[in-house]
Amino acid sequence: QSALTQPASVSGSPGQSITISCTGTSSDVGGYNYVSWYQQHPGKAPKLMIYDVSNRPSGVSNRFSGSKSGNTASLTISGLQAEDEADYYCNSYTNSDTLGGVLFGGGTKLTVL
């Protein structure tokens, strides 16, 4: 069981918007603005899509946005496209000694219908 909780799967039709949640605790997601999101296509390395909760790296589409409320962070993809079908992982720093410094969520499989 991952320390950050994500839904196993989400789906949406082209053009729609979807949101993926990532729930942690006050020791990680809720306590720091160091939440990031990664997109991973099959057989490929993860790609950074959002960092510091809501910032997009250069080159990432503005259809991707991030937010946080309390201990839950969210990734929203608007105007869904077929190429968005992938696995998505959230990541956060944690100050928990028992968990170490870095946490990943269990991943969410996005299906574009």
Residue where the block lists tokens 């696995």: 87
Q: Is 87 helix (H, G, I), strand (E, B) or coil?
A: strand
Nearer to other proteins, 32 or 72 (CB): 32
**Per rule CB under 8 A, is residue 109 in the interface with other proteins?**
no
The conformational region for residue 59 under phi > 0 = left, psi -120 to 50 = alpha, else beta, is: left
* Near other proteins in 27-86, by CB under 8 A: 32, 34, 36, 38, 44-48, 51-52, 57
- Residue from the set 14, 41, 99, 111 that interacts with other proteins by CB under 8 A: 99
Size of the site for other proteins (CB under 8 A): 27
DSSP 84: G
How far apart, in whole angstroms, are the C-alpha atoms of residue 21 and residue 52?
A: 15
Nearer to other proteins, 52 or 83 (CB): 52
Residue 106: half-sphere exposure toward Cβ, Cα within 13 Å:
10
Binding footprint of other proteins on the chain (CB under 8 A): 2, 32, 34, 36, 38, 44-48, 51-52, 57, 89, 91, 93, 97-107
